Amino acid sequence: MGQLDFIVMGVFALLILGIGMMFTRIGSKNSSAFFEAGGATPWWINSISLFISYFSAGTFVVWGSIAYKSGFVANGIQLTMVFGGMLVALFIAAKWKRTGAVTAAEYIGKRLGTGTQKFYTFLIMLHGLFTTASVLYPVGKMVSVATPLSLNTCILIIGGIIVLYTSAGGLWAVLVTDVVQFVILTAAVMIVIPMAFKEAGGVHSFVNKAPDGFFNFFNSEYSFGFFLAFLAYQTVYIGGNWAYVQRYTSVSTERNSKKVAWLFTILYLVSPFIWMLPPMLYRVINPSLSGLQPEGAYMMLCQQVLPAGLIGLVLSGMISASASKANTTINIMAVVFAHDVYKKAFNQQATEKTLVRAARFFTVLFGFITIAIAMMVPMIGGIVEMVLSTASIAGGALFAPIIWTLYSRRQTGTSVISASLCGLVISLALKLFGTELLGHKLDRMWETVLGVGIPVFVLLCWEIYYLLAKKEAAPYLLQTSEVKATHSPVQDMDARSQNIFGMKVIASAIAIVGAGIAMLGLVATGGGVAFFTGLIIALCSLPLFRSARA
């Protein structure tokens, strides 16, 4: 990396931080502004935020490695997000909005009781801390490899920036920076692809030199059975993850909550075929990678085909993707603890400003705990692999039971907790001691099947038992259609002004990003693609400016 690459990375880091800090005043108005961005954010902003929050540096490391080795198999795995998003759009997103709850934790408290709420809040917090640390660690390592900075310094800088703007601006800061980060990442990948095709000798050469089966969606390791099992996991994860639930509840109507999921589905239908092209092309350019080397295929390609300056842009895009995933998780943990733990357990008379201050405190607290965990990864070893390998196990156990309660009047706190515990304990026992218990290690398909299937089976047993016993949950807990968010006329006016301000910031930021990339294309050697990409991005800001004035 050259000096220009460091300048580019510094400029984009300051841009993202500046955008987030611009929402300090809006986030301080009231808890509705900080927690749900006024409760009427534009649905397409929520959808892009949901989409980009699914990405991280791990996307390029893990899926990029699979794309290098197995080609379209990486796309086949990511198509599970498409069908999962479709199911969420059809059956789940509007249900969350209909509850009237600001957060999934609030819904659980009203529907299943405060004891159940505390149980899930604790588990979700642990899950969130470690998964966010697993996001910060690989991106910190990637930056440390490309720069003279140490790993811990990179983690601290990247994590500190995320914590700073997330604590300052709340959900609006997260949403707007997510949209801008989406633009940066898309621009970076679109610049790499034509240069990679040129290096590979063109489309015809790429197709002819690709290994046999390179364009198949399934192989022996990632079979169609694994696809179906992973689809079940993705559906409950997209539909039940607390951070993503916030995207469905912070729009104005149930119809808009469905639109959030539908646009996510469309983006995931198209994007993997674009994101995964560079490592697939690198397989033709350099087919000699082995062992763990394919994990670096993305950056190896960038270093080979990109001039100085554009490498910094691509790395900024990857950092942006990781920041989106991290800020989303940190934000929802802070919101839950301020809104559903601090207020109810410690300060029931808390004012709006007190709640905002509490949310900012929890954002900083959880953010720096996450940074500390990420820094400990080299010492304790394997935390990233552990989080990735147990994601399907935890996802089914933590999220499927709560989604079930959106449809059932019979499930209680006892039934959902038992389903979660059975799923976690049995699946983890088979994961850790499967060889001793079964005589062989569980493969990827069965690990995912059991992770989702066990809690669903337990819930089905409870459902049948309650049906035969003619029992339902206590009437005072059945508030899924009665809990309605109430906003005063002042808050409604604030929501409209927040939307206008947010649109103006997005339009301005996209114009600045586009102009910056175009200028970078002029400066960089062979930067013609970057120049035209930046020009197109800058022009895309014009309709957003018009929309903000409307």
Average pLDDT, the chain: 79
Question: What is the total count of domains within the chain?
Answer: 1
Percent of the chain with pLDDT over 90: 16
| pTM of the entire predicted model | 0.79
pLDDT band at 18 (very low <50, low <70, confident <90, very high): confident
335 φ, ψ to 5°? Answer: -60, -45
Which of 255-269, 307-321, 375-389, 425-439 has the largest mean confidence? 255-269
382 pLDDT above the threshold of 50: no
460 pLDDT above the threshold of 80: yes
pLDDT band at 483 (very low <50, low <70, confident <90, very high): very low
| Residue 489 burial by Cβ neighbours in a 10 Å radius (0-12, 13-18, 19+) | exposed
Res 348: pLDDT: 73
Position 208: which residue type? N
Range of the domain at 78: 3-548
Q: List, for residues 502-535, the tens digit of each pLDDT value.
A: 788 888 888 988 898 888 888 877 778 888 888 9
Q: What is the 3-state secondary structure (H, E, C) of 244-287?
A: HHHHHHCCCCHHHHHHHHHHHHHHHHHHHHHHCHHHHHHHHHCC
Position 494: which residue type? D
CATH code: domain of residue 190:
1.20.1730.10
Cα distance between residue 530 and residue 8, in whole Å = 13
Two structure tokens written together for 91: 């059956």
Cα distance between residue 122 and residue 449, in whole Å = 25
pLDDT band at 93 (very low <50, low <70, confident <90, very high): very high
Res 372: pLDDT: 86
